[in-house]
Amino acid sequence: DQQVKQNSPSLSVQEGRISILNCDYTNSMFDYFLWYKKYPAEGPTFLISISSIKDKNEDGRFTVFLNKSAKHLSLHIVPSQPGDSAVYFCAASDQGGSQGNLIFGKGTKLSVKP
Amino acid sequence: SQTIHQWPATLVQPVGSPLSLECTVEGTSNPNLYWYRQAAGRGLQLLFYSVGIGQISSEVPQNLSASRPQDRQFILSSKKLLLSDSVFYLCAWNPQGGNEKLFFGSGTQLSVL
């Protein structure tokens, strides 16, 4: 059973417009959420995170929104740039867990067209 | 500063041959260490994690194994590779005791022919 779901395998956006990547989770014990960005043949790099005590976290062009009641989070990129074209993974963690393992979604491939 | 090294970047191996991928972390002590894999069109799947020397937990049954002979060294192995082992392998670490973000290595693309 997939605990973290990214239902859109791909997304295409025009340069300068907003990119919205969505993520849903099923485990109500998750209380820390992260977004990673991955280019082909490279390891994922951390992008932004949010704790469950917040509903929004912003870092430059990137903003993550968390809706705990809906068990949904989203990543907004504005304005989108061609260099943002990559696969974005949503991940969740249960801080009460002993290992701090992250559960990843399957990823959404973002293509930003010039 | 902390760095993670994973090698090789690419590897081509025949079916039935052994495998050894190595990962080392510098600049930190007693890290949590992880091996993930990513198949095409799939998410990141946790294979093994370790909280200390000789302590290995397996998340997914498979023909792979992991070992941690030193504090900052994590090795992924197989005695006999299968065609289905042809995926992208990632090593990662995070500080002991925290749920902070994972730091990933650059990955190894394994092709089993």
Percent of chain A with pLDDT over 70: 94
DSSP A84: G
Question: What pLDDT score does B95 carry?
Answer: 83
List the single residue in A89, A93, A99 with the smallest CB-CB distance to B51.
Answer: A99
**Residue B97: CA count within 13 A, CB half-sphere:** 2
Interface residue ranges in chain B relative to chain A, Cβ cutoff 8 Å: 6, 9, 32, 34, 36, 41-46, 49, 51, 57, 59, 88, 90, 92, 94, 98-107, 109
Q: In this complex, do B88 and A41 lie within 8 Å of one another by their Cβ atoms?
A: yes
Q: What is the mean pLDDT of chain B?
A: 90
Q: Which fold has domain B3-112?
A: Immunoglobulin-like (2.60.40)
List the single residue in B41, B45, B98 with the smallest CB-CB distance to A100.
Answer: B98
pLDDT tens-digit readout, B9-51: 999 999 999 999 999 999 999 999 999 998 877 788 889 999 8
Q: What residues does B78 pair with on adjacent strands?
A: B19, B64
Q: How far is CA B4 from CA A45, B25, B74, in A?
A: 12, 4, 11
List the single residue in B42, B49, B104 with the smallest CB-CB distance to A44.
Answer: B104
pLDDT tens-digit readout, A38-62: 998 889 999 999 999 999 999 999 9
Residue type, B98: G
Decide: B38 and B44 in contact? Cβ < 8 Å: yes
Q: What residues does A14 pair with on adjacent strands?
A: A113
Q: Which token pair is A50? A: 């949010």
- Chain B: give the shortest CA distance to residue A70, in Å: 22
Q: What is the DSSP string of B60-82?
A: S-SSEEEEEEETTEEEEEESS--
Dihedral, CA of residue B106, residue B49, residue B84 and residue A109, to nearest 10: -50
Which residues of chain A make contact with B105, given a CB cutoff of 8 A? 43
Q: For chain A, give the longest Cα–Cα distance.
A: 45
Complete domains list, chain A, with CATH:
4-109 (2.60.40.10)
Helix (H, G, I), strand (E, B) or coil at A36: strand
Decide: A85 and A75 in contact? Cβ < 8 Å: no
pLDDT tens-digit readout, B47-62: 999 989 999 988 876 7
Domain limits of chain B? Answer: 3-112
* CA atoms of A15 and A8, how far apart (whole Å): 19
Which residues of chain A make contact with B46, given a CB cutoff of 8 A? 101-102
**Residue B44: CA count within 13 A, CB half-sphere:** 32
